[in-house]
Amino acid sequence: MYSYFNRDISWLSFNYRVLLESEDLSLPVYERIRFLSIHASNLEEFYKIRVAEHRSVIMQKVHSEEDPAEAEQILEEIKQEVTRQQREFFRIFSDEILPELAGEKIVLYMNAQAKPEHRGFIKDYFMEEIFPFLQPVMLLKEDIRVFIRDNRLYQVAQLRKKGTGEIFYALNKIPYAKVPRFVELPPIGDTCYYMFAEDVISANLSEIFTGYTVEGSYNIKISRDADIFIDDNKGDKNLVQVIKEKVKKRKVGDVSRFVYDRQMPPECLRYLIEMFDILPEDLIPDYAHLNMEDLVKLPNPAGKELETPAQTPLRIPELDKAGRLFPVIREKDIFIHYPYHTFDYFIRFLMEASINPHVDEIMVTQYRVAQDSEIITNLINAAKNGKKVTVFVELKARFDEENNLFTSEMMKNAGIKIIYSLPGLKVHAKVALVIEKSGRQYACLSTGNFNEKTARVYSDMAIFTSRRILTKEIARLFEVLETQNRNVNFNKLWVAQFNLIPNLKRMIRQETEAAKAGKKAHIILKMNGLQDTVMIDELYKAAEAGVKIDLIIRGICCLKPNQPYSRNIRIIRLVDMYLEHSRIWYFYNGGKEDLYLTSADWMKRNLYRRIETAFPVLDKKIKKTVLSILRIQLNDNVKACLIDENLNNVFFPVPEKGKEIRAQEEIYKLINSTLTD
């Protein structure tokens, strides 16, 4: 009866929306370049994880609900859509970005050819700065020692041996760790010039292969399966050691795509396919320059005028005047919406707890730990000051396993009690609890990671509270994490694996019954992803009954709008300077307007394979602010778009001057205005 979008095709629709930001002429050119880089980086991870998973299904390496025929079909759809987006990417880059850079007197050479004035410098730079780090390898089919590493840029040279005319192929790994991707050349007049490092090498290949004529050079790269399956239910091996072993294997995973310069001669491509056992379905032709996520590293000689000016993180005068946070939190809840607010207040929360003589215990969850984190420093200081500090570290946070291991071992050595991943589950909840000797408790509940680096670019919400009805349940949650006791009840907190799904269904069905009775019924859900068909069906049924449903979904959305059963559902996607990351659930509830902030998306992984929390907004002033933020986002007519029944990103008509609503700018103004109320 009901139908759904495929999650991966839906994700590609989101990544295309990211690409469209690079085409926005109202943005400074280096902001547009940043979105090109994000698009390329997103796609790389997509191939490492999602495409690799489909490959594993086809090869029957994993158990999955998807059968091999379905996997093959979706891979073909992915390939077609990725090819379309690649063409669009390079059209924008070549036809729009490069000319705009040139207009700003910044020239990026796009091949090995350069002005005569630069040729001497290019040769000298190659000989002095690049040549010492090159390790060229002749590609001989009988030599099995040649291995192409994951996501590294390589250059294949097609060579003709002088005298015999015999064709050979050689491989150079671009020494990205020793050489900048973009080489700065001497300016000519007031124009700055740059060149890709691989083009500098191409221009000087004859210096490497002196006994050969260079017929051509072509860039290649391989993306490898980076997903690591950890069966931690068996308990027969130490989890830390298992993860260390698995992370090492990630670098040599199965090929998920072989990307090559589409100008490569067929005979060269055939040779590489045989040499490296590349499957035809793994072949992805691309343009000359690969790994374009590196575009974010392109130097900007003009400075800030070609970038989007950063919003100054706002401070809360009441907290700054008070000197200490805890007396204020005792009196009322405090709302933080970073990066609009400064994230410093969470760091200060831990710092004050670490030196407060009345504090006995600190408990924190950590999913993605920032490198050189002040959060970790404060927790270590707290342990040194005699506090009992417990940190739950999720070792299975994808791509952060090694960093999380390093920081957890550092904390453990400082006397902090470390709790590692739960068997069969990831802990994605973002909670911190401080307990005084008197028994008084203070908490911070967040929609996003306690990570000062991502807090500068991810839009998230947090609440500091001392409400006993919340803090006592947070303490129960830490009991679950520490003892794995499942015989725990939650009331105000909604916790995945306990009461989250039943409460969500109850709230949706409550709105459904109200609509059937002819009463006002409204649901607003802001999340990063919506995949689970069980919960989508609940929304379809509510919409059929007449419930008005507004969805603000940044990424994957499997719910299909504009169908007879989804006619009351509107899906908005919002992409702007900050990554929309906060999750907010609103239910009209007969005018009571229940509002929850949460760490959970409605992906299968979040609802069924993780510990997540959703917490109510109980303070009336905070609720009013969050509702205002939701309304601003629902009315955005500049950066928001609608998702239609074909997964198109449909922008609103260009608004009249004075009627533009760009949500992230308006939210900054709103937050600023609340500081003076």
Residues forming beta bridges with residue 106, ordered by sequence position: 192
Kind plus residue range of the DSSP H or E element containing 242: helix 239-250
Q: How far apart are CA 451 and CA 431, in angstroms?
A: 12
Per DSSP, helices labelled H in 358-425 are 374-384, 401-413
Identify the sign of the CA torsion 442, 447, 450, 454.
Answer: negative
Q: How far apart are CA 625 and CA 572, in angstroms?
A: 20
Q: How many CB atoms lie within 10 A of CB 145?
A: 6
Q: Residue 579 CA to chain centroid, in angstroms? A: 8
* 323, 380, 438, 451 from 417: Cα distances, Å: 30, 11, 22, 20
For residue 524, what are the contacts with CB-CB under 8 A and spacing of at least 6?
549, 550, 551, 552, 584, 585, 586, 630, 634
Burial class (CB in 10 A: 0-12, 13-18, 19+), 446: buried
Q: How far apart are CA 18 and CA 40, in angstroms?
A: 10
Torsion of CA 468, 474, 480, 481, to 10 degrees: -150
What tokens does 4 get? Answer: 């759904």
The Cα angle at residue 633 between residues 12 and 26, in degrees rounded to 5: 70
The answer to whether 550 and 567 have CB atoms below 8 angstroms apart is no
Active site residue 341: no
Q: What per-residue string of b and e applies to 55-88 under the rule 16 or more CB within 10 Å gives b? A: bbbbeeeeeeeeeeeebeebbeebeebbeebbeb
Three-state SS across 149-214?
CECCCEEEEEEEECCCCCEEEEEEECCCCCCCCEEEEEEECCEEEEEEHHHHHHCCHHHHCCCEEE
Identify the sign of the CA torsion 488, 494, 495, 499.
Answer: positive
How far is it between the farthest Cα atoms of the chain?
A: 90
Pairing of strands 417-419, 283-286: unpaired
The answer to whether 551 and 572 have CB atoms below 8 angstroms apart is yes
469: left (phi over 0), alpha (psi -120 to 50) or beta: alpha
Sheet order of strands, 640-643 included: 494-495, 613-616, 594-598, 583-587, 522-527, 548-553, 569-574, 640-643, 649-651
The answer to whether 155 and 218 have CB atoms below 8 angstroms apart is yes
Q: Is the bond preceding 339 in cis, omega lying within 30 degrees of 0?
A: yes
* 5, 638, 663 from 647: Cα distances, Å: 8, 19, 22
Q: Using the structure block, give the residue that is written with the tokens 């999650």.
A: 7
* 51, 157, 173, 253, 270 from 148: Cα distances, Å: 19, 15, 9, 11, 16
Q: How far apart are CA 128 and CA 549, in angstroms?
A: 63
Q: Which one of 289, 428, 522, 581 is the catalytic residue? A: 428
DSSP string, 270-297: HHHHHHHT--GGGEEEE-SS--GGGGGG
Q: Quick one: angle between helices 533-545 and 500-516, nearest 10?
A: 20
Question: Active-site residue numbers?
Answer: 428
